[in-house]
């Protein structure tokens, strides 16, 4: 049996500790409600996209990796979004590099400084000379989007030469010496 108490304020009678629930109890905030005054740094929601299929490109300009984006809507403009990314892949041969960068709603974020003609990327590029192998790169970025509108974070990639691949090797031969991999984007809304 449940009961309901309606009040505007609860304070401690002793002026020290106010306790909600006891050991083993679960104290929850109702759906659609917002808990405030508990300080920043709390994880409010988590969203993940897990990519298991493969993608490739020969473009030397950045293009979207197919099926590799995640959406989140912050509850407050003061909240931040922690973006965690892992990517598996490789270039076609010893001179091919796979470059990756993070895009948020059409704006590039979390990349290195612009210097001359150098590509601005997130994390490290993937460079490997074994045609049967894959390498991986991982990076994270704490974004301050200052909005309560829907946000789409996606990964874009480009090649410096040849073809670059995500979640597969160059040869992709049907053998126990060849592998397929996964990549992921995890978004965490952090209370501001």
Q: How confident is the model at residue 138 (pLDDT cuts 50, 70, 90)?
A: very high
Whole-structure pTM value: 0.79
Domains of the chain and CATH, by start: 43-190 (2.60.120.1340)
Distance from C-alpha of 155 to C-alpha of 35, rounded to nearest angstrom: 32
Q: What is the tens place of the pLDDT at every residue in 150-186?
A: 999 999 999 988 899 999 988 888 988 888 999 999 9
Tell me: pLDDT of 18 over 70. Answer: no
| Residue-level pLDDT at 176 | 87
Q: String of b and e for 138-169 (b: at least 16 CB within 10 Å)?
A: ebebebebeeeeebebbbbbbbeeebbbbbbb
* DSSP letter string, 30-96: PTT----SS-S--EEEEEEEEE-S-EEE--SS-EEEEEEEEEE--SSTT-EEEEEEEEEEEESSTT-
| Residue-level pLDDT at 61 | 96
Decide if 169 contacts 133 (C-beta within 8 A). yes
Closest CA to 169 of 111, 108, 90: 90
């Amino acid at each position: 049996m449940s009961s309901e108490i309606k009040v505007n304020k609860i304070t401690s009678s002793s002026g020290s500790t106010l306790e909600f629930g006891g050991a083993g109890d679960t104290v929850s905030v109702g759906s659609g409600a917002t808990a405030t005054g508990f300080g920043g740094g709390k994880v409010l929601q988590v969203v993940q996209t897990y990519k298991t299929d493969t993608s490739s490109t020969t473009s030397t300009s950045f293009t979207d990796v197919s099926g590799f984006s995640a959406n989140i809507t912050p509850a407050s403009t003061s909240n931040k979004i922690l973006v965690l990314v892992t990517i598996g892949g490789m270039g076609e041969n010893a001179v091919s590099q796979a470059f990756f960068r993070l895009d948020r709603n059409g704006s590039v974020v979390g990349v290195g400084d612009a210097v001359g003609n150098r590509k601005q990327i997130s994390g490290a590029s993937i460079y490997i000379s074994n045609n049967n192998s894959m390498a991986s790169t991982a990076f994270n970025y704490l974004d301050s989007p200052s909005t309560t509108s829907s946000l789409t974070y996606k990964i874009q990639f480009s090649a410096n030469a040849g073809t670059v691949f995500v979640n597969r090797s160059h040869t992709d031969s049907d053998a126990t010496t060849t592998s397929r991999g996964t990549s992921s984007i995890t978004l965490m809304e952090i209370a501001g």
